[in-house]
Amino acid sequence: MDVPEDILELITSYFSGELNEEGIQQLIDWLNKSSENRKLFLDYKKAWELQASILKQPVNPEEEWEKFRKKNLSTFTKKEIKEERVKKLMINRSYWRIAALLALIIISTFAAIYLFRNEEVEILLTQKTKETFTLPDGSTITLAPESKAIYDKTYGKKERKIIVTGWVYLEVAKNERLPFRVWAGNLEILVTGTSFYIHSSATEQDASVILESGKVKAYPKGKPSEAIELKPGQAASYVSSKDIITITSPEPNYAAWNTHKFQFNNTSLDEIIALIESVYSIHIDLSSPELGSCKLTATFENQSPESILQVIASALHLKLGGDDTSFILSGMPCQSNK
């Protein structure tokens, strides 16, 4: 028995992925008419699969692999070889002249490693504590807990480029022949002069730079023509929704994770706790969420988290409990006019 021409067209369109909802319904109606129809359909399917096994579009697994690697690079990297080298770098402290200071505080989770086509990349990672590493040119990089920096083996040859994720502080060795570039999210920073700080905002591709002194240029990744040159005290942020760089004012305490200096000016306890938690990798609980809206004005410099919390507790009439890594503040909510 033969299949009517119009049904055969439905079947063929179905196998080539061209059949719409309506056509699929027509095909199903025909299939459900008889088991004979279903058998014919299956024969045509077999014929289709047989030709497809020979005439299928060539698949290039290497190409697909490249696609896969690019998509998954934040997790898929050359890890095993790293740890040893990281240790070596730590020992090899630099005696080079340091000309520029950079601090990055970046909360971007997707580092675009594909900048480095080269397989030989160095990955610097931190876990619970901050660490300082020396780069091949003598620049040093300090990573806050759970932060990451990546560079490849061409670093220091033609140029110096590095990708950072998390909270990072960089001291860049002066070398006018080798520009120093940083990628943080979708923000690109070109180091042209002496000393500066960098900071970021929360979403994945957003980041910002704060200049302390000297010169720095910031622009959306790969678009140096849109560069903004910062003046000391200024900050520039990358806004991913608009793909532009704008000048902003620096966030307070942007360097606290590194300097352990905190300045709170009528700051809410929620904000204070979030900052202290991330700087010291500790956990702080409040006995009730209302406590979070208590406000505090205070300055701390190089104190242990415990002594900071003790001061906060006594200022706000709270009790401090807990141990080295986990604290709890308990008490009555503050008056709203506090």
Partner 1 sequence: MKNSHPLSNSGLSEENFKAIFLEEFSNLKAYAQSIVKENETSSDIVQEAFMALWENRKIFENKRDPKPYLATIIRNKSLNYLRNNKKYHPDLEAAEGWEQHLGISCNDQFTQKQLKAKIQETLDHLPPKCREIFLMNRQEGLKYKDIAFRLGISIKTVEAQMAKALKAFHDNLDQFILLTLIFLMNIFF
The smaller minimum CB distance to partner 1, of residues 31 and 298, is found at 31
Taking the complex as a whole, the smallest distance from the CB of residue 80 to partner 1 amounts, in Å, to 6
Taking the complex as a whole, the smallest distance from the CB of residue 186 to partner 1 amounts, in Å, to 19
The smaller minimum CB distance to partner 1, of residues 180 and 280, is found at 280
The smaller minimum CB distance to partner 1, of residues 121 and 191, is found at 121
Between strands 160-173 and 180-184, the pairing is parallel
List 119's β-bridge partners, or say none: none
Closest of 256, 328, 326, 334 to residue 292, by C-alpha: 334
Taking the complex as a whole, the smallest distance from the CB of residue 51 to partner 1 amounts, in Å, to 5
Closest of 238, 78, 257 to residue 167, by C-alpha: 257
Instruction: Read off the amino acid at residue 54.
Output: I
Element (H, E) at 183: strand 180-184
Taking the complex as a whole, the smallest distance from the CB of residue 228 to partner 1 amounts, in Å, to 27
Encoded tokens for 200: 């970021």
Nearest 5°: phi and psi at 218?
-130, 140
How many secondary structure helices (H) and strands (E) does the chain include?
Answer: 8, 19
Taking the complex as a whole, the smallest distance from the CB of residue 302 to partner 1 amounts, in Å, to 22
The smaller minimum CB distance to partner 1, of residues 67 and 93, is found at 67
Taking the complex as a whole, the smallest distance from the CB of residue 195 to partner 1 amounts, in Å, to 25
Contact (Cβ atoms closer than 8 angstroms) between residue 107 and residue 125? no
List of residues contacting partner 1 (CB under 8 A): 5, 8-9, 11-19, 21, 24-25, 27-28, 31-32, 38, 41-59, 61-62, 64-65, 67-68, 71-72, 75-77, 79-80, 82-83, 107, 109, 125, 127, 144-148, 166-167, 278
The smaller minimum CB distance to partner 1, of residues 29 and 301, is found at 29
Taking the complex as a whole, the smallest distance from the CB of residue 278 to partner 1 amounts, in Å, to 6
The smaller minimum CB distance to partner 1, of residues 15 and 96, is found at 15
Element (H, E) at 133: strand 131-134
Question: 259: exposed, middle or buried (C-beta count within 10 Å: 0-12, 13-18, 19+)?
Answer: middle
The smaller minimum CB distance to partner 1, of residues 162 and 216, is found at 162
The smaller minimum CB distance to partner 1, of residues 67 and 231, is found at 67
Measured at the alpha carbon of residue 276, what is the angle toward residues 273 and 281, in degrees to the nearest 5?
120
Q: How far is CA 188 from the centre of its chain?
A: 14
Taking the complex as a whole, the smallest distance from the CB of residue 113 to partner 1 amounts, in Å, to 13
CA distance linking residue 133 with residue 143, whole number of Å: 8
The set of residues, in sequence order, having a beta carbon less than 8 Å from that of 210 and lying 6+ positions away, is 103, 196, 197, 198, 199, 234, 235, 250, 254
